[in-house]
Amino acid sequence: TLTLTSLIILTLPITTTLLQNNKTNCFLYTTKTAVTYAFAISLIPTLLFVQSNQEAYISNWHWMTIYTLKLSLSFKLDFFSLTFMPIALFITWSIMEFSLWYMHSDPHINRFFKYLLLFLITMLILVSANNLLQLFMGWEGVGIMSFLLISWWHGRTDANTAALQAMLYNRIGDMGFIMMMAWFVIHLNSWEFQQIFLTNPKNTTLPLLGLLLASAGKSAQFGLHPWLPSAMEGPTPVSALLHSSTMVMAGVFTLIRFYPLMENNLTIQTLTLCLGAITTLFTAICALTQNDIKKIIALSTSSQLGLMMVTIGINQPHLAFIHMCTHAFFKAMLFLSSGSIIHNLNNEQDIRKMGGLYKTMPITSTAITIGSLALTGMPFLTGFYSKDPIIETANMSYINTWALLITLIAVSMTASYSTRIIFFALLGQPRYPSLTQINENNPYLVNPIKRLILGSIFMGFFISMNTIPHTTPQMTMPPHLKFMALAVTLLGFTVATELNNMTHNLMFKQPSRMHTFSTTLGYYPITTHRILPYLSLTMSQNLATTIMDSIWLEKMIPKNLTTMQKTAASLVSNQKGLMKLYFLSFLLSITLGLLIAL
């Protein structure tokens, strides 16, 4: 039963794409209802798993055997995939309903839904894969769909460059993924997870480095992060689906999948920890002074991803997974409500031009408030059940102190920028033109947000009550450590509100250095996006023209030889060039010699 139900889940959305009735309007509704039914059906295996704690592996179709490597279509239904699939389906259902309202006036809305559906299918393939080849197919699939969806409005150059950026940064990560696959197939002769975990090799640093690079590319860690804020060029449903809940989770998910190997390798754990800590601090700093609401939320996603990496780095993959699931809810909700604000203010994305929406858009403002509170880990909302255990475990484990401090600072900054969004978008006097009509009455807008609000409040409780903890958490700790997460969050809130209230009417003539650092995303995109192409282009120019043509063909032998000979000859010789005299003397001496001999 488990097998059949999970396969039906995967095929239900696929049948919708196969029908291909692009002209009719009911394609949208059939897609949405297909996803709804898929969500309902996917709850069945999940609940079965919750009741029996029995994992399942389905190995269906033997594709090919390359010498001794057997490749088949296999699905792994364990805690991670069974918990994540209903969540992904639920969020996709809400987003599809939302985009019925948001993309209503778009002539290619059928294609948009097809792309969203394809994305969902590839994400499910990625999540349920049991061997690395299938996971790689899902991985590439989500990369391609991300490219297509970010450049949805492809007439705009910024959208095209952002999509290209996403593709290139993902590709750099893919190099690591392929290296990992190659290592596994050479040393362990298999791409199946069971075999990899059973043999438990001792020298796994190299493939895990590849895995870390792949996750850094997919999940926008520091060094490969600029694509995520740029990816906000896509429509808001795309940002909500891809870049908040599902795609950027793919990297962290794969890292979580490999936790049996990472448990034994302390180097990789330290690397993950430091990378995650740097990411979370850096992106939180950048998010503090951005003015585009979607960029703030995107950088917030990146910061939370860094937090998940930190959790994996302290060897708590299950906590990271729970945080991933809960984060999906409130981040998608934040994106949807920002989409509602943007559309209602007539496509205004700058928070300096919003304000006073607290009274005019009550549902959206409650959504943002609840989402921000859940994000910062307010007690007993969703984020609390995942974020607080992370901070507690980090405080109590044998950890790099610097990484821990940075993570705590980033947590307080989370509160700061969330307060900033609320302050600028919702409170105060309106700063938008007064003729824009604000209307929240469409059920397609309101129902998804309401569902996600319910999810944000209750899901943390449900998930943590129904899962068996795989590692025992620390129960006793000194009170100052126990309250650390709450304390830094409250610190962030209060500092942000104070600063916002005090400086609301100030204007500086020239922004300070820290401010420009933060606004230009740490100068990172500006420098690297120019330096790398410049270096490779100058290197190729040097190789082609200078080295090949001018040095090797012209100067090396011909010109060098001529100059050398000329200087040598003019230095050495002291002739006067009297040719006839020399020849005559030669003739005379020859004849004299002959005469004497004869």
Partner 1 sequence: MPYIYINIILAFVISLIGTLIYRSHLISSLLCLEGMILSLFTLNALLSLNINFALSTIVPLILLVFAACEAAVGLALLIIISNTYGLDYVQNLNLLQC
Let me know: does 45 contact 3? Beta carbons within 8 Å. no
In whole angstroms, the minimum distance from the beta carbon of 577 to partner 1 comes to 4
CA distances (Å), origin 538, targets 172, 274, 526: 21, 34, 18
Q: Which of residues 465 and 597 has its CB atom nearest to partner 1 in the complex?
A: 597
User: Regarding beta strands 56-66 and 69-77, do their DSSP bridges make them parallel or antiparallel, or are they unpaired?
Assistant: antiparallel
In whole angstroms, the minimum distance from the beta carbon of 556 to partner 1 comes to 21
CA distances (Å), origin 120, targets 13, 127, 436: 8, 10, 35
**Which tokens go with 100?**
């019925």
HSE at residue 4, side-chain half, CA atoms within 13 A, is 1
Cα angle: 48, vertex 53, 54; to 5 degrees: 80
In whole angstroms, the minimum distance from the beta carbon of 543 to partner 1 comes to 34
Q: Which of residues 471 and 562 has its CB atom nearest to partner 1 in the complex?
A: 562
Q: Which of residues 553 and 587 has its CB atom nearest to partner 1 in the complex?
A: 587
In whole angstroms, the minimum distance from the beta carbon of 533 to partner 1 comes to 47
Question: Which one, of 333, 162, 165, lies nearest residue 234 by Cα?
Answer: 162
Q: Which of residues 504 and 566 has its CB atom nearest to partner 1 in the complex?
A: 566
Let me know: does 425 contact 351? Beta carbons within 8 Å. yes
Q: How far apart are CA 526 and CA 535, in angstroms?
A: 14
Q: Which of residues 441 and 575 has its CB atom nearest to partner 1 in the complex?
A: 575
**Which tokens go with 132?**
């690395």
Q: How far apart are CA 253 and CA 244, in angstroms?
A: 14
In whole angstroms, the minimum distance from the beta carbon of 591 to partner 1 comes to 9
Q: Which of residues 458 and 586 has its CB atom nearest to partner 1 in the complex?
A: 586
| Three-state helix/strand/coil letters over 388-438 | HHHHHHHHHCCCCHHHHHHHHHHHHHHHHHHHHHHHHHHCCCCCCCCCCCC
Q: Which of residues 347 and 573 has its CB atom nearest to partner 1 in the complex?
A: 573
In whole angstroms, the minimum distance from the beta carbon of 589 to partner 1 comes to 11
Q: Which of residues 401 and 570 has its CB atom nearest to partner 1 in the complex?
A: 570
Q: How far apart are CA 157 and CA 164, in angstroms?
A: 11
Sign of the four-CA dihedral 476, 479, 484, 486: positive
Let me know: does 499 contact 515? Beta carbons within 8 Å. no
Q: Provide the 3-class DSSP secondary structure of residue 316.
A: coil
Question: Which one, of 278, 343, 332, lies nearest residue 307 by Cα?
Answer: 278
**Which tokens go with 48?**
């079965």
Q: Which of residues 480 and 576 has its CB atom nearest to partner 1 in the complex?
A: 576
In whole angstroms, the minimum distance from the beta carbon of 588 to partner 1 comes to 9
Let me know: does 189 contact 198? Beta carbons within 8 Å. no
In whole angstroms, the minimum distance from the beta carbon of 594 to partner 1 comes to 10
Q: How far apart are CA 138 and CA 250, in angstroms?
A: 9
Question: Which one, of 225, 129, 211, lies nearest residue 174 by Cα?
Answer: 211
In whole angstroms, the minimum distance from the beta carbon of 587 to partner 1 comes to 4
Q: Which of residues 168 and 590 has its CB atom nearest to partner 1 in the complex?
A: 590
Q: Which of residues 15 and 589 has its CB atom nearest to partner 1 in the complex?
A: 589
Q: How far apart are CA 504 and CA 318, in angstroms?
A: 42
Q: How far apart are CA 339 and CA 532, in angstroms?
A: 35
Element (DSSP H or E) covering residue 232? none
Q: Which of residues 435 and 579 has its CB atom nearest to partner 1 in the complex?
A: 579
In whole angstroms, the minimum distance from the beta carbon of 582 to partner 1 comes to 9
Sign of the four-CA dihedral 34, 115, 250, 303: negative
Q: Which of residues 206 and 587 has its CB atom nearest to partner 1 in the complex?
A: 587
Q: How far apart are CA 552 and CA 530, in angstroms?
A: 30
Burial class (CB in 10 A: 0-12, 13-18, 19+), 304: buried
Contact footprint for partner 1 (CB under 8 A): 566, 575-580, 583-584, 586-587
Q: Which of residues 155 and 577 has its CB atom nearest to partner 1 in the complex?
A: 577
Q: What phi and psi, each to the nearest 5 degrees, are found at residue 192?
A: -90, 145
